Structure 1
Amino acid sequence: MDAKKFIFSMLFLLIGCAHSFGKQKQEAKQPPNILFILIDDLGWKDVGYMGSCFYETPHIDQLANDGVVFTNAYAPAANCAPSRACIMSGQYPSRHGIYTVGSSERGRAEDRKLIPIPNTTTLADSIITLAETLQKAGYQTAHIGKWHLGDDPCQQGFNLNIAGSHEGHPKSYFSPYKNPKLEDGPEGEYLTDRLTSEAIHFLKENAPHKTGRPFFLYLPYFTVHTPLQGKEASIEKYRHKEDCEGQNHAVYAAMVESADQNVGRLMEALTEFGIRENTLVIFFSDNGGISKFSSQNPLRAGKGSYYEGGIREPLIVSWPAQFPGGKTIDVPVSGIDFYPTLMEAAGISQDVKPILDGESLLPLVKDGKKLERKALYWHFPIYLQAYDPQKDQSRDPLFRTRPGSAMRLGKWKLHEYFENGALELYNLNEDLGETDNLAEKYPRKTKQLHSLLKQWREETKAPVPSELNPQYVPK
């Protein structure tokens, strides 16, 4: 190559690099695209990067490697509808009134000492949802998957709805789906694959360079909720895999694997469409795994319980344009934090906002700053019947949850039960399985936390059941 050609080549390269750098810098200043992946009933230990030695999740593990991992992330409630209501409202259940799915009078009437607080099943129109806030800020909003908070998510801030209704689980994971909000695909098509295909189509058509606006894609998969139905080839593979630490359900494992494969498809699509860098990706689960299907050891219990196994979740946050991956954060965070986090990411003023109980995680992620709050709280003035008394690891064999509240302050976790005023105190640093109740051993600490818990209930107007059930039969 002669000198003149070499000089022109170098100039071309420098101009290209400058253009690329300028474009990246410009994109970084733009509001991010948001992809919120919510898996249903996925337990804290149901993915490889959190320690599972049975389930195979290489794509989720790669996302964890590329993003920020939270090891003390919590669902704001222990089952589907209330947890999702908290994410969409940014509020604790005591404010929006959704405590469970259906009736709060679960289990046999003669086993319930108190009349539980009535449950709300639809997120009120008066609540300004996360989707409405982002939509008002100019985001193209889409919901694809399980809504569970009303008849139509388009009534609460979404421009597009695919598959979302009041239904909490699919009638079938294989087409025909019998879902009025989702057209059937070819016979035998798998629901998790189909929802991902719909999501990829949305990503392709709504890339900011095409529309001139960012997008918010809320992708709450139905999987791994019952009915347990997986692809036969994957099921067969796990049937021949050795059990590992209480995880051995082949069909459940096949469903986890399908979820993982589709996370991989999504990440590939973001890269292919040139929008990965400035897309903020959240990977989360709505509540703990079901104990009879998948052990969360060393965590105690599972879905429906307010012991750690029922509320601690896998959480990954990734935004390459703003912060590097490969970081682990042990600070306790909650699903109520997503609303203020995404508001800040989108550049939406915090001065004009609805009541939010959460706190933005961006200062923590980007700069290592401490959160302002001291404690996290849970309130469940309801009953939830047992799934499997031998595997639930509940306080008693009849219920996963009896009416009460709970809180976490640092290493300490306090449970209060309204039927008899019982208190349980655990040091999670030393007893992650919540087996050693320290309430009597540390009465001052118990009193301190109980006082904070009661104060929080007053501030949020959390209703406490007190009326005795005339049908109750003491045992």
Structure 2
Amino acid sequence: MTDMFAKVSCVLAAAFMLSAFVPQPDDKPKGIEHVIVIGVDGLSPDGIKKAETPNIDKMVANGAVKWNVRTVLTSASSQNWASMIMGAGPEQHGIIDNDWELNKHTLPPIAQEADGRFPTIFSILHKARPQAEIGTVYHWGGFGRLFQKNAVNYDKHFSTEDSTATDFIQYIKKKKPVLGFVHFDHVDHAGHHDGHGTKVYYESVTKADSLIGKILAAVNDAGIAEKTLVILWADHGGIGKGHGGATPQEAEIAGVFYGAGVKKGYAIQQQVYTYDLAATIAFALGVEQPYAWTGRPVKPVFKGLDEPRNLWLGEKP
């Protein structure tokens, strides 16, 4: 009996030691030291598919994509940009429309930092890693009111998409940020002025693609391409000359993941929501997200990680 007990103990001990060296599903993705987020206001999946977009096509072919990421409602800018960086929806962060201001709103956040804002990916990364370089460059001034100013090292607003891209490119090359976030607004302008699905709108998407190509080149020139996760995101799509409604054309966007640690040519199966962006960035950089966030990391985009075991895609009639 003693010999049998000893053998069982040895087997269990060996199994425990072996499991300790087997990567666990919740491990941080390997090799990611930088995250660059390219946000394009008003960029619809239709725009990507129908316009000339060689750089985005390259990202999709060599990365992972979800063509129907669901936005929050209403499908307008402030609440969706906020949800992207805050890891939760309007019900949690309280930004319900474009009239929101820090000192003028009706719904307080369910949890807030000292400045009154809901925690963002910028603030939680800054608290976890105070020395990390974090920067934002944005075309739409309204984006700047959504995040904690003391959480970023670099905070710039420019009036054109070209000046925005130029400055962000210089920032990448000079500072090699742990997290860099750029916002472009000209595609949304084209949607409002000429209409979604028009020649002018598709031309604006092609212009965005050219700027994305320059940003990807900057990441390479900075010598950090092999350690950088690049994410392309949008706040909403549109119908005609507007957006804000609850239709797929307005409330679905494309999410593209490219670069370090990402599977190539992968179509994401799990449901993805716009507030999952912040959760995925936190996961990629190994930072614990606040309990107040409702977003979940899009783990299957990363090598070695699978779709959720309980994934349910619905039933066919």
TM-score range normalised by the length of the shorter chain: 0.7 to 0.9
Select 1:265's aligned residue among 214, 218, 236: 214
Amino acid at match of 1:346: L
Alpha carbons 1:192, 1:258 under 8 Å: kept? no
Q: CA deviation at 1:258?
A: 0.9
Q: Per-residue CA shift, 1:294-341, capped at 9, x if unaligned? A: xxxxxxxx7211222221111101133x23311111321011112221
- Report the 3-state secondary structure (helix = DSSP H, G, I; strand = E; otherwise coil) of the residue aligned with 2:65: strand
Matched, 1:250 2:199: yes
Structure 1 residues 354, 59: closer, same or farther in 2, change over 3 A? same
Normalised to the residue count of structure 2, the TM-score between the two structures is 0.76
1 or 2 for the larger relative contact order (CA 8 Å, sep ≥6)? 2
| Number of corresponding residues | 278
Tell me how far apart the structure 2 counterparts of residues 30 and 59 of structure 1 sit (CA, whole Å). Answer: 23
Tell me how far apart the structure 2 counterparts of residues 369 and 62 of structure 1 sit (CA, whole Å). Answer: 23
Structure 1 residues 286, 120: closer, same or farther in 2, change over 3 A? farther
Q: CA deviation at 1:251?
A: 2.2
Matched, 1:139 2:87: no
Q: CA deviation at 1:410?
A: 3.6
Select 1:161's aligned residue among 142, 155, 172: 155
Tell me how far apart the structure 2 counterparts of residues 255 and 305 of structure 1 sit (CA, whole Å). Answer: 22
Tell me how far apart the structure 1 counterparts of residues 94 and 141 of structure 2 sit (CA, whole Å). Answer: 17
Amino acid at match of 2:258: S
Amino acid at match of 1:196: A
Matched, 1:80 2:77: yes
Query: Partner residue of 1:420?
Result: none
Alpha carbons 1:102, 1:119 under 8 Å: kept? no
Q: CA deviation at 1:249?
A: 2.0
Query: Partner residue of 2:298?
Result: 361
Q: CA deviation at 1:82?
A: 0.4
Amino acid at match of 1:250: K
Select 1:202's aligned residue among 159, 168, 171: 171
Q: CA deviation at 1:142?
A: 0.9
Which residues in structure 2 correspond to 1:27-38 (within 5 Å)?
A: 31-38=32-39
Structure 1 residues 373, 195: closer, same or farther in 2, change over 3 A? farther
Query: Partner residue of 1:57?
Result: 53
Q: CA deviation at 1:80?
A: 0.4
Matched, 1:292 2:220: no
Q: Per-residue CA shift, 1:215-273, capped at 9, x if unaligned? A: 2111111121226699xxxx9xxxxxxxxxx9752322221111010011111111222
- Report the 3-state secondary structure (helix = DSSP H, G, I; strand = E; otherwise coil) of the residue aligned with 1:139: coil
- Report the 3-state secondary structure (helix = DSSP H, G, I; strand = E; otherwise coil) of the residue aligned with 1:366: coil
Tell me how far apart the structure 2 counterparts of residues 219 and 58 of structure 1 sit (CA, whole Å). Answer: 20
Tell me how far apart the structure 2 counterparts of residues 156 and 80 of structure 1 sit (CA, whole Å). Answer: 23
Q: CA deviation at 1:30?
A: 5.6
Structure 1 residues 372, 285: closer, same or farther in 2, change over 3 A? farther
Q: Per-residue CA shift, 1:191-224, capped at 9, x if unaligned? A: 21211110110011013xxxxxx52111111121
Unaligned runs of 5+ in 1: 1-27, 104-116, 164-181, 185-190, 208-213, 236-245, 294-301, 375-408, 413-428, 431-475
Q: CA deviation at 1:286?
A: 0.4
Tell me how far apart the structure 2 counterparts of residues 336 and 155 of structure 1 sit (CA, whole Å). Answer: 20
Q: Per-residue CA shift, 1:116-163, capped at 9, x if unaligned? A: x95679997242211011223232111111352564846252211111
Query: Partner residue of 1:218?
Result: 181
CA RMSD of aligned residues (A): 3.2
Alpha carbons 2:78, 2:96 under 8 Å: kept? yes
Alpha carbons 1:154, 1:161 under 8 Å: kept? no
Amino acid at match of 2:69: A
Tell me how far apart the structure 2 counterparts of residues 96 and 262 of structure 1 sit (CA, whole Å). Answer: 31
Structure 1 residues 96, 156: closer, same or farther in 2, change over 3 A? farther
Deviates more, 1:361-370 or 1:31-40: 361-370
- Report the 3-state secondary structure (helix = DSSP H, G, I; strand = E; otherwise coil) of the residue aligned with 1:333: coil
Structure 1 residues 128, 313: closer, same or farther in 2, change over 3 A? same
Alpha carbons 1:72, 1:330 under 8 Å: kept? no
- Report the 3-state secondary structure (helix = DSSP H, G, I; strand = E; otherwise coil) of the residue aligned with 1:258: helix
Alpha carbons 2:135, 2:153 under 8 Å: kept? yes
Tell me how far apart the structure 1 counterparts of residues 33 and 52 of structure 2 sit (CA, whole Å). Answer: 30
Query: Partner residue of 1:193?
Result: 162
Which residues in structure 2 correspond to 1:349-428 (within 5 Å)?
A: 349=288, 353-363=290-300, 365-371=302-308, 410-411=313-314
Q: How many percent identity over aligned positions? A: 21
Which residues in structure 2 correspond to 1:426-441 (within 5 Å)?
A: none
Matched, 1:127 2:118: yes
Select 2:283's aligned residue among 327, 344, 347: 344
Matched, 1:325 2:288: no
Amino acid at match of 2:89: Y
- Report the 3-state secondary structure (helix = DSSP H, G, I; strand = E; otherwise coil) of the residue aligned with 2:66: strand
Normalised to the residue count of structure 1, the TM-score between the two structures is 0.53
